[in-house]
Structure 1
Amino acid sequence: MELPEELPQLYKRHVFACATQRPPMHPRGSCGHNGAGLLWERLGNRIEAEGLGATTGFTMSGCLGFCSAGPLLVIYPEGVWYAPKTEADIDQIVDRHLKSDELAEDLVIVLSR
């Protein structure tokens, strides 16, 4: 069976946020150790408060593979990676990317292996 050119989508966008928590002295670090918990709580609350829950999926993920750059989140289908450090950064991502279809350019992170 061939895949259709376009599959029906559950959400317009889907945010995956790393929730990995490693011990403080772990050599790879972790998003959780770098304060992700409070940021992701803020993100979930903002998605709901702005009425975006029906069109924006929000999933806590395991390690996204770039631990030293965290906290990290990635938004699909665009595949844009962000490295927010403050609640104001979360607000900017919600207001610009999720609500206004614009990049929060100063928070975009370009990763390479």
Structure 2
Amino acid sequence: MPKPNKHVFVCTQNRPEGHPRGSCASSGCAEVMNEFMNEIQNRNLFEQIALTNTGCMGPCMLGPSVLIYPDGVMYGRVSKADVKTIIDEHLLGNKPVTALQVPAEVW
């Protein structure tokens, strides 16, 4: 497998309901992860984009969280509808989606 250009990490942390930190699972991370998988498959981007689910990345209150490397860009409150924008603009176009980025004090 060739080295991908970008690596996408999607937080799939699942904590019990009522946990003070919350979790990305309760914010819809499964839909986001599935949409990334579907888009990568439908566009045949396997060699360009790696996709990994992760545990907690920190800003639980801003979940679902998505982290892009090697760029070191973190997105928060990502929805299924945002995935195509992230792929088109950032992963393929190399221009981070400013409106979805978490605040600088978070990441």
Aligned residues: 105
Q: Judging by fraction of residues, say which structure has more helix.
A: 2
**Are 1:73 and 2:66 an aligned pair?**
yes
Query: Are 1:15 and 1:73, in contact at CA under 8 Å, matched by a contact in 2?
Result: yes
Give the distance between the partners of 2:70 and 2:50, measured in 1 at CA: 11
Query: Are 2:64 and 2:76, in contact at CA under 8 Å, matched by a contact in 1?
Result: yes
RMSD: 1.6
Structure whose CA Rg is larger: 1
Give the distance between the partners of 2:90 and 2:37, measured in 1 at CA: 15
> What is the TM-score with the length of structure 2 in the denominator?
0.89
Give the distance between the partners of 1:102 and 1:84, measured in 2 at CA: 19
Identity of aligned residues (%): 34
- Secondary structure of the 1:53 match is coil
> What is the TM-score with the length of structure 1 in the denominator?
0.84
Tell me the CA shift for residue 47 of structure 1. 1.4
Query: Are 2:62 and 2:77, in contact at CA under 8 Å, matched by a contact in 1?
Result: no
Tell me the CA shift for residue 50 of structure 1. 1.6
Q: Which amino acid aligns with 1:12?
A: N
Tell me the CA shift for residue 112 of structure 1. 3.1
The list of structure 1 runs, each at least 4 consecutive aligned residues, that deviate by more than 4 angstroms after superposition, is none
Structure 1: unaligned runs, 5 residues or longer: 1-8
Give per-residue Cα distances to partners, 1:30-49, cap 9 Å, x unaligned.
00111110111001111121
